[in-house]
Amino acid sequence: MKKKALSLLLATAMCLSLAACGTKSAGVSGEQESPASTTEAEESKVPESEAGSGDEPITVSVIKNQNPATVTYADGESETNNVYYNAYRDELGITLNYQICATGDEYTQKLTMAIASDDLPDLMYLPIDQYTQLAKAGKLWALEDIIDQYASELTLKNIQSDGGTMLDAAKVDGVLYGIPVGNAQRIPSQFLWIRKDWMDKLGLSAPENFDDVVEIARAFKNDDPDGNGADDTWGLGLSNVMSDVCGYGTIEGVANAFGGSVLNQNWVKGENGDLVYMATSQGTRDALEKLAEMYAEGLINSEFGVTDETGVGEAVAAGRCGLFYGGDGISWSYGRDSIANNPECGWLCVNAPSAQGGVADAYSFMEFQYIYAVNKNFEHPEALIKLVNFNNDRINSPDATLDSLAQWGVNPTTGINQADYTYGLIDPYLNKAIGYNTTIGQVFAGELTPEELMPEAYRYYEGIKRYVDEGWDKTGGANPDDLTAFQYAMCWGPQFGSWTRYSELRDADKIVMSEYYGAPTQTMIRSWSTLEALQDETFVKIISGSQPIEAFDEFVEQWKSQGGDTIAQELAERTAE
């Protein structure tokens, strides 16, 4: 059942920023002038939302899903000596003690051990399963009254920007025990990224249907698009991620082309009104059959079964992969690296074409990445809200300036994203980039002036204007000395950015929202990891040809008998309430 995407609260959107993207812009007044720097007195002023920060200093134990080794610090700085850590201590009286600071499997293992041994820190950053488990066990503070008492106006706008939908979904048995991190509508991961310089060299056009995608893959694999005389380029780049969001090498766009989806959050109503898990649908089966044909022809990287999305990204950066489905932010990572390594490189972003022609329906869901929660034994639950307020005042404020954001956000000299140092950073729950993409487009169309843009959008606009003025929008390439402009342009550029593609999907009502969101059911908690592993293993085997397409039918029966049918019933009962 197709639903319109959640409406964007544009006024709120333009007052808040996308800290996850790692770029913070200048505040813009209503006058016809460029953003001004703040005075030293203004920068040192503590916002009113930090009233009460003069309480007795406390040390707070926390867990953070971040690997210190992957975070960039300026000389002499560390996870316990940086602009945020020191400000929390000096201005809020809160000293953080990292009980766990890790990522990936290490974070999961340490968190599991802490829960099993009942050795919980004061503040926690929890996956939804563990959050639900601890809430039901009475281990967490109920936060609604604490939020009402301590949250700043900006924080309340932030977490209520979707009308309270995510906060309601985070409730366990009707009680809110945490502040979720995520999006009310996750941007689909089905964008098709194509090396435009390769297309131009081989005389290819943008694909209008999935058969065209296959032809591009065939040309990229067989016709030496990089011109080095070696058989070293891929057709369609694929990763082994078969059941989750994937930035590089997802099969989601192929599944969408045939009316399916592999994302583990997607449940939609079938023709008879029953909930259908889309990875078990006929459309997903058809997509796997087509991918198996492509693999047999050599049009998919031969070792995809042992290649994660990082491996695909590295092939993109190295110039081996020029065709893949993925997310919106490739210009911030390996896509940027691809141009740094080869200035002739250029990229084109299109929405996934369907098998029949035209744009395929994309699937989305309410995304709970993690949830901040407070140990019920901690005497100062308001500390979490004070940290959230502090971060919002510096990262998401409409009063930010270039100087203040250089201090608290991305340092324009070093390129270091200091927002990585935060604890309790909550971005708005609706995708604010839609607002920026829209208003930046209005500036280019002459409908707004640059000075009318709100803070972060102004910085993006400046980079995109440089990009367009130098003609890079025609090639998809970039000035190797100004790759920041490429980052901004390929996300928010009018006509060509990935968020323009997203807006096109929303405007055409081409986004299908999952019926499921919120806390997992009891059977999900017990069985989902097993079902997900079954999906990953089976889909890889089908595509690689080690199992025939009929294995999909066996997978569906196993999936249903091992808990899938029970989960569907639990979700049906929940949605009927």
Count of Cβ atoms closer than 10 Å to residue 371 Cβ: 26
Q: What is the mean pLDDT of residues 84-107?
A: 93
- Give pLDDT, residue 70: 63
- Give pLDDT, residue 30: 29
Q: Which residue has the higher pLDDT, 301 or 55?
A: 301
Q: What is the mean pLDDT of residues 55-72?
A: 84
Residue 332 CA to residue 335 CA, distance in Å, equals 7
Cβ 25 vs Cβ 457: under 8 Å = yes
Nearest alpha-carbon partner for 88 in 62, 124, 65, 111: 62
Ranges 270-279, 356-365, 430-439: which has the least confidence: 430-439
Domain ranges of the chain: 49-186+369-396, 191-365
Q: What is the mean pLDDT of residues 321-335?
A: 92
Please give the helix or strand (H or E) that residue 328 lies within, else none: none
- Residue 313 above 50 pLDDT? yes
Residue 214 CA to residue 31 CA, distance in Å, equals 52
Confidence label for 519 from pLDDT (cuts 50, 70 and 90): confident
Residue 428 CA to residue 417 CA, distance in Å, equals 19
Residue 460 CA to residue 472 CA, distance in Å, equals 16
Structure tokens at 66: 């971040």
Confidence label for 171 from pLDDT (cuts 50, 70 and 90): very high
- Give pLDDT, residue 67: 64
49-186+369-396 fold: D-Maltodextrin-Binding Protein; domain 2 (3.40.190)
Taking only the tens place, the pLDDT of each residue in 525-552 is 899 999 999 999 999 999 999 999 999 9
For CA atoms 140, 146, 152, 158, give the dihedral sign. Answer: positive
Confidence label for 471 from pLDDT (cuts 50, 70 and 90): very high
Ranges 108-112, 140-144, 367-371: which has the least confidence: 367-371
CATH top class, domain 191-365 = alpha beta
- Give pLDDT, residue 50: 46
- Give pLDDT, residue 2: 39
Residue 451 CA to residue 448 CA, distance in Å, equals 8
Q: What is the mean pLDDT of residues 13-24?
A: 35
Residue 8 CA to residue 439 CA, distance in Å, equals 13
- Give pLDDT, residue 187: 82
As a whole number, the mean pLDDT across the chain is 87
Ranges 81-90, 173-182, 187-196, 568-577: which has the least confidence: 568-577
Q: Which string of DSSP letters, residue by residue, matches 171-220?
A: EETTEE-EEEEEESSPPPS-EEEEEHHHHHHHT----SSHHHHHHHHHHH
- Residue 463 above 60 pLDDT? yes
- Give pLDDT, residue 305: 96
Cβ 125 vs Cβ 98: under 8 Å = no
Alpha helices in 308-401 (DSSP H): 309-318, 334-341, 382-395
Ranges 244-253, 255-264, 281-290, 410-419: which has the least confidence: 410-419
Nearest alpha-carbon partner for 180 in 519, 520, 525: 519
Q: What is the mean pLDDT of residues 501-530?
A: 91
Stated length of the chain: 577
Cβ 170 vs Cβ 178: under 8 Å = yes
Say which amino acid occupies 538: T
- Residue 12 above 80 pLDDT? no
Q: How far is CA 279 from the centre of its chain?
A: 21
Question: β-strands 362-364, 511-513: how paired?
Answer: parallel
Q: What is the C-alpha R_g of the chain?
A: 24
Cβ 57 vs Cβ 95: under 8 Å = yes
Please give the helix or strand (H or E) that residue 506 lies within, else none: helix 498-507
Ranges 23-27, 234-238, 540-544: which has the least confidence: 23-27
Confidence label for 68 from pLDDT (cuts 50, 70 and 90): low
Decide if 49-186+369-396 and 191-365 have a common fold.
Answer: yes
Please give the helix or strand (H or E) that residue 49 lies within, else none: none
Confidence label for 520 from pLDDT (cuts 50, 70 and 90): confident
Ranges 37-46, 172-181, 253-262, 563-572: which has the least confidence: 37-46
Confidence label for 429 from pLDDT (cuts 50, 70 and 90): low
- Residue 48 above 60 pLDDT? no
